[in-house]
Amino acid sequence: MHGLRVTIAQFKLLKGSVVKPHSHAHEQVSIVIKGRLRFTVNNEVYIAEPGDIVHIPPKRHAQC
């Protein structure tokens, strides 16, 4: 779902998947349902687990 300044989406990543570095003009919000997600935003590394909410501000470089 896209709003004027935010994207909320459901997606599944297979274990070991890599999302290439990218950025969006809008902010992105994700909730981890299962497993662990290692992601990087502007060279800062975070680990998200089930129940964690991931917020990526607009125009920031992110990678999972």
What is the CATH number that goes with domain 6-63?
2.60.120.10
Under 8 Å CB-to-CB from 10, ≥6 apart: which residues? Answer: none
Q: How many CB atoms lie under 10 A from the CB of residue 30?
A: 19
pLDDT value, residue 4: 72
Summary mean pLDDT of the chain? 85
CA pair distance 7, 43, nearest whole angstrom: 22
Model confidence over 11-34: pLDDT tens digits? 788 888 888 888 888 888 888 999
On whether the pTM is more than 0.75, the answer is no
Please name every residue paired with 49 in a beta bridge, in sequence order, or none if there are none: none
On the 0-12 / 13-18 / 19+ scale of CB atoms within 10 A, 11 is exposed
- For the chain, the structural domain boundaries read 6-63
Res. 5: pLDDT tops 70: yes
pLDDT value, residue 36: 92
pLDDT value, residue 48: 92
